[in-house]
């Protein structure tokens, strides 16, 4: 348990304390943040209050007075429900803002670990209960430097395993050898293990099976992989070291050549709609006041399809071997911002020029 860090986080969030509560290990966040062993027996309610500055207090049942002994601070042992409530009332002063594993309107179910009745009880003491969601992730989600490195290394290894698998699948397709989801899944699992990672069973899903995000082929239930099929590969693993972080990726493959991949023609106005939707979603639709881009040829504003469903309704298809600008902008009264790259459209793919694209404003000093 990182008491100083918890109290610093409480200060930053302007909270008076963090009240951890659990009944029969129903609150895994409490166990993780407090570094509690889950091997012990927990059959009764317990509370642990970490005030923003004072010493923490544990409130435990007389039936299991041994629990929470690893935590710093004072201990109060209750025998009855009346004693439990009385001790809580002593600890919690009216008007305090206390974090608990609660999410208003159950907006984040991962954080809704304290039952509604317990929330009612704490509020009955004149306490403002706020969600611990933001503060908890400081201790649950932020990685150490070693963990960041473990994620990168795991990622490199499982991508390399994917590359080996894809080459093998290409060889087998060229040789007209039979393939199916389950045999490919098992081969992928072996490659991930041989890469020195600890994988879960990867997902290999063909065509309509890939429409089920959690589809998993089995020895009894799987589909063949044939020429012309679209295949989804979802794979994740971590290094075998304690505290190692997962890498988790999804790749798509086509059982054929790039020339055989079906392509849906794209109109200029469709690109504009997609781009504009991104800006609208964050509330700036009224400040994006021009088309997304224009055709480029021997003159800067060419006569091919523009990326436009705003100033005009350009339903022309983006043809192979054409070039256009992609330049969304947001123009506020105080300032305007625009980013622009160019796009070369080819028969089977596209190329961005003017790379690397700008990711942030460039300081000149």
* Whole-number Å distance between alpha carbons of 194 and 156: 13
* Residue 121 to residue 329: CA distance in whole angstroms: 51
Sign, Cα dihedral of 103, 53, 122, 33: positive
pLDDT digits (tens, 9 = 90+) for 101-145: 999 999 999 999 999 999 999 999 999 999 999 999 988 888 889
Question: How far, in Å, are 14, 194, 202, 231, 314 from residue 166 at the CA level?
Answer: 52, 16, 14, 11, 39
In this structure, of 107-121, 258-272, 280-294, the range with the lowest mean pLDDT score is: 258-272
Q: Provide the pLDDT for residue 39.
A: 85
How confident is the model over 201-218, as a mean pLDDT? Answer: 92
Of 8, 18, 2, 12, whose CA–CA distance to 130 is shortest?
Answer: 18
Task: Tell me what pLDDT residue 140 has.
Answer: 86
Dihedral over Cα of 121, 126, 132, 133: its sign: positive
Work out the pLDDT band at 264, boundaries 50, 70, 90.
confident
Domains belonging to the chain, first-starting first, are 3-140 (3.40.350.10), 145-260 (3.90.230.10), 268-353 (3.90.230.10)
pLDDT of residue 38: 87
pLDDT tens for residues 20-40?
999 999 999 999 999 998 888
Question: What does the pLDDT read at residue 142?
Answer: 84
Greatest C-alpha distance within the chain: 86
**pLDDT tens by residue, 168-199:** 999 999 999 999 999 999 999 999 999 999 99
């Amino acid at each position: 348990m990182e008491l100083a860090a918890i109290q610093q986080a409480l200060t930053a969030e302007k909270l008076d304390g963090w009240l951890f509560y659990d009944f029969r290990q129903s609150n895994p966040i409490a166990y993780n943040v407090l570094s509690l062993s889950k091997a012990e027996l927990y059959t009764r309610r317990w509370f642990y209050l970490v005030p923003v500055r004072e010493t923490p207090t544990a409130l435990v049942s007389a039936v299991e007075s041994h629990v929470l002994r690893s935590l710093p601070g004072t201990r109060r042992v209750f025998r009855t429900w009346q004693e439990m409530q009385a001790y809580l009332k002593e600890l919690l002063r009216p008007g305090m803002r206390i974090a608990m594993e609660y999410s208003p309107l159950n907006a984040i179910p991962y954080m809704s670990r304290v039952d509604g009745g317990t929330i009612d009880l704490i509020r009955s003491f004149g306490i403002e209960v706020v969600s611990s969601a933001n503060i908890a992730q400081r201790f649950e989600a932020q990685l150490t430097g070693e963990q960041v490195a473990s994620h990168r290394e795991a990622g490199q290894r499982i991508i390399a395993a994917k590359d080996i698998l894809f080459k093998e699948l290409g060889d087998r397709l060229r040789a007209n050898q039979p393939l199916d989801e389950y045999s490919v899944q098992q081969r992928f699992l072996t490659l991930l293990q041989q890469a020195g990672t600890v994988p879960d069973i990867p997902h290999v899903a063909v065509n309509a099976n890939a429409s089920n995000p959690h589809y998993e082929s089995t020895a009894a239930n799987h589909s063949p992989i044939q020429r012309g099929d679209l295949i989804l590969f979802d794979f994740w693993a971590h290094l075998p070291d304690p505290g190692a972080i997962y890498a988790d990726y999804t790749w798509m493959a086509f059982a054929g050549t790039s020339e055989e991949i079906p392509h849906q023609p794209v109109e200029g106005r469709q690109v504009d709609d997609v781009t504009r939707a991104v800006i609208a979603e964050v509330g700036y639709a009224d400040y994006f006041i021009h088309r997304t881009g224009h055709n480029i040829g021997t003159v800067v504003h060419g006569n091919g399809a523009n990326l436009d469903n705003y100033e005009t309704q350009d339903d022309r298809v983006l043809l192979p071997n054409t070039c256009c600008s992609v330049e969304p902008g947001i123009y506020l009264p105080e300032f305007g911002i625009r980013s622009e790259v160019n796009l070369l459209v080819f028969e089977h793919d596209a190329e961005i020029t003017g790379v690397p694209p700008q990711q942030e404003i460039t300081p000149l000093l």
